[in-house]
Chain A
């Protein structure tokens, strides 16, 4: 009887600490990151990744920034193969940068390589680590690539799958 009582007290204490923690967290400013497009996106909390996991690197090095710019001007000139080659150069510098993979996916979409565009979108999803902006843009890319292949059902499916909590 006494033990059960103890457990109850412990549970109540834990619940209280939980509330304190959660409200404490709510008082902190929302983590914000800038993606390549310059839009600001809220990030899901992922503070406790421990020693193994890491959160998304949202700052891009000057090197890959400049290569991204170079790739954009190659895209504007319609030279998609070179634009992709430049992005691959940037990916050798910053292989974990979702913005670069996303951009490569868009180049593939524009040059009609829909299967690759879809795969690159999936890659972005797998490394977005809760960055909502990247996730949403990756989903746009994937559903765009699916629609371009006439896979309309899958395209709307992936959207509704993602909107589920």
Chain B
């Protein structure tokens, strides 16, 4: 009833005042539009001001007395972190180098366990190690240098940024921004008619669009919606939104939003937003440390990051930067003298090659996979997480260099028609099970197929240590035991007979286990493995770190099973770690946007094999490097350096492997072709020729495990397995269980003066 009369009265009014009614409807529609725009822009600004991609850091370098590090490497690390050489007074992020020492002031940094304040340090070096570490108040036991930012997990849109709070933005930057982009920022209400008029006249004169009249607020709105169409309606909408923003928020908030939002460069799929990330992208330094000429360049880029790209158009970039400097002087942000002095400086942008190489795509892939087990994609791209990883940039640099050099050398030997030889590297820490470096392929920074993580290949003789370990664990064998290396026929389930051959084609008769392992005899290994049981070997492989239990065919004993380099790294890290398996980690810890720890990825252990048996096995792997299949590596190491390792070659030379370790690092190298054609390389000729120079370059301590309390060291004749003396027969020092039955090699009478007490006690028990 009432509704009807209202309707009638409205219709009556419309008929009487058609113009007014039209205006009223427009006003209503416009108001609704305004409310919509207001909701749209305010929620954008307030709800989530920015996507905050997780920022991913390398391991921080820990400085302490005794650390293996020389001055040159330390300086490399510092310049990778964007530390600058300074002559006079040092400030955070600068250093000064003497002959055997480096003075620096570290940057403040928020680690997973709290903030570490900036501090001055003197680091002294002596014979390849840190010999003294001093701060302002005397000796410092241990201190971390801020870690290298190695990447971020940005969303599908490619937007990446490092958000700065207002107090992290230098005043000179905001002042200069206003002068260059929006002189009346502090006065206007979102749009600036004066600037629009000025731009209009300038454009008319030029006959084309050369100048924009957009305020910072308008640019901010434009950037929010990533719409580059230059239509009038869009312009109007932007202007309205700018006015709304200005009405609702303080100038300081808007300015800070601009500083973090503005698009300043492109890096492949990744869009560089905000001055914080741009500073890292162009200078590898935090914004607070930039010099005037660098700040001026970033401001110059706000107008057109691709047109003024300092890497592709250095002259253009320089001209615009100097215009910025001139404007800064004109408006008295800096004095004329400073402007002139700064204008002659170079661009000082970090060079693209060194910067690209620091992307570590193969490692980042692994980090992403490990994080995805716990986090949703939105959390990683939005929540401003900080991810602390295990990557060691110094070791990664070694791996990159040595893999590239090695593959190039091997390629030269191959026929010209051959495609590119591929390779992969994984380096881990022996006892902490951290992944220190990964090369997923030949090309540094190539974000393609990751051979280290996904390249499943037959592992060849890399399996053999597990066969010998299975035998040692039974307690019925030791490395001095004999096994027959002679023709063997293994009946298979399908009725076929398998007849494995030695690489050399020869048979060696009765050989010691240590010799059969060190020289990689196939027939002896298969015989041993059949005695122990293929299933035992398969199960042990799985326990040590193979992702699945391999099918227990006899051919498994010679490595007819496929694994990736990182699987091999897991297995060999368990061996290097005395039989304890620790899941390999690429991430140490994740911290939320407020600096609170969210998740730790702790070191976990699982005893996978008897540690005394592993100790004995590793003596065999050391012997393999001394006189077995790995002996060609010796040239790269001093005589006192103890290393252990094993070659692997798959059927038809399709895969060339090497896996080995010293006291600190385990490294796996794979070399092969993508199309699986034969490489004509053994493990020694291919992978080892990369492994050895790489491990020598990385450095690290000798492999020196603690002798298990239940084993005794004795001299054994390598060929016969008989008890020998240090200067009798072909001696090798082996640790054996006290109840091992041994015979003395004829002619090797004991020289008791050469033996220690423990051996004598043991001999006593054996002889009696």
Residue numbers of A with Cβ under 8 A of B are 10, 14, 17-18, 21-22, 25, 44-56, 61-67, 81-82, 84-86, 88-89, 91-93, 95-96, 104, 116, 119-120, 122-123, 126-130, 135
Contact = CB atoms under 8 A, between A and B. Distances in A.
Given A48-B713, A120-B605, A95 B758 contact: no
A119 B588 CA distance: 20
A94 to B, nearest CB: 9
Contacts of B67: 93
A135 B707 CA distance: 14
Nearest to B112: A85
B62 A55 contact: no
Interface in B129-143: 139, 141-142
Given A63-B66, A63-B142, A129-B707, A45 B758 contact: yes
25 contacts: A18-B752, A21-B752, A21-B760, A22-B757, A49-B707, A53-B735, A54-B704, A61-B64, A61-B65, A61-B66, A62-B64, A63-B64, A66-B141, A67-B142, A81-B597, A84-B600, A92-B429, A93-B67, A95-B430, A95-B432, A119-B580, A119-B604, A120-B605, A122-B607, A123-B605
Contact of B758 (A46, A81, A92): A46
A91 B603 contact: yes
A110 to B, nearest CB: 14
A127 B578 CA distance: 9
A62 B65 contact: yes
A14 B750 contact: yes
B733 A119 contact: no
Given A14-B752, A56-B706, A50 B64 contact: no
Contacts of B64: 61-63, 93
Contacts of A17: 752-753
Contacts of A85: 112-113, 588-589, 600, 602
A119 B664 CA distance: 21
A100 B260 CA distance: 44
B640 to A, nearest CB: 8
Among A52, A66, A82, A85, residue most surrounded by chain B Cβ atoms (within 10 Å): A52
Given A22-B757, A127-B578, A52 B607 contact: no
B606 interface: yes
B614 to A, nearest CB: 9
A127 B706 contact: yes
Interface string B118-158: 00000000000000000000010110000000000000000
Contacts of A53: 615, 704-707, 713, 735
B632 interface: no
A92 B570 CA distance: 18
B32 interface: no
A92 B432 contact: yes
A120 B603 CA distance: 10
Interface string B50-67: 000000000000101111
B622 interface: yes
A55 B707 contact: yes
Contacts, number: 148
The 3 A-B residue pairs with the shortest CB-CB distance, nearest first, are: A48-B756, A53-B707, A63-B64
Given A48-B755, A50-B713, A53-B735, A63 B705 contact: no
Given A53-B705, A63-B141, A129-B707, A48 B758 contact: yes
A115 to B, nearest CB: 9
A145 B403 CA distance: 45
Contact of A91 (B432, B579, B604, B664): B432
B619 interface: yes
A79 to B, nearest CB: 9
Interface in B581-600: 588-589, 597, 600
Contact of A22 (B708, B749, B760): B760
A91 B431 contact: yes
Contacts of B603: 88, 91, 104
B706 A51 contact: no
Contact of B706 (A48, A84, A96): A96
B759 interface: yes
A25 B707 contact: no
Contacts of B757: 21-22, 25, 45, 47-48
Contacts of A46: 707, 758
B490 to A, nearest CB: 34
B145 to A, nearest CB: 14
Interface of B: 62, 64-67, 112-113, 139, 141-142, 429-432, 434, 578-580, 588-589, 597, 600, 602-607, 611, 615, 619, 622, 642, 664, 704-709, 713, 733, 735, 749-750, 752-753, 755-760, 764
B66 A126 contact: no
B709 A50 contact: no
B574 to A, nearest CB: 12
A135 B708 CA distance: 12
B161 to A, nearest CB: 28
B387 to A, nearest CB: 15
A52 B622 contact: yes
Contact of A126 (B429, B578, B735): B578
Most chain B CB within a 10 A radius of its CB, from A61, A84, A85, A127:
A85
Contact of B605 (A55, A119, A129): A119
B431 A130 contact: no
Nearest to A56: B706
A126 B65 contact: no
A88 B588 CA distance: 10
A48 B759 contact: yes
Given A53-B705, A61-B65, A128-B709, A119 B758 contact: no
B141 A52 contact: no
A126 to B, nearest CB: 4
Given A21-B752, A52-B619, A84 B602 contact: yes
Given A62-B64, A65-B141, A45 B602 contact: no
Contacts of B589: 85
A92 B142 contact: no
A129 B432 contact: no
B312 to A, nearest CB: 42
Contacts of B760: 18, 21-22
B605 A88 contact: no
Contacts of A135: 709
Contacts of B750: 14
B537 to A, nearest CB: 22
A10 B749 contact: yes
Contacts of B764: 18
Given A47-B758, A48-B713, A122-B605, 9 more contacts: A47-B757, A52-B713, A53-B706, A55-B706, A62-B64, A67-B141, A85-B112, A95-B429, A126-B578
Given A17-B752, A93-B64, A129-B707, A86 B113 contact: yes
A51 B707 CA distance: 11
Contacts of B704: 52-54
A153 to B, nearest CB: 19
Contacts of A127: 578, 705-706
Contact of B709 (A88, A116, A130): A130
A126 B431 CA distance: 13
A93 B141 CA distance: 11
B427 to A, nearest CB: 15
Given A53-B713, A66-B141, A123-B580, A88 B707 contact: no
Contacts of A48: 713, 755-759
Contacts of A51: 642, 733
A110 B65 CA distance: 32
Contacts of B602: 81, 84-85, 88
B609 to A, nearest CB: 11
A123 B141 CA distance: 26
Contacts of A10: 749
A27 to B, nearest CB: 12
A119 B142 contact: no
B756 A45 contact: yes
Q: Which of A63, A127, A128 has the most CB of B within 10 A?
A: A63
Contact of A119 (B606, B619, B705, B713): B606
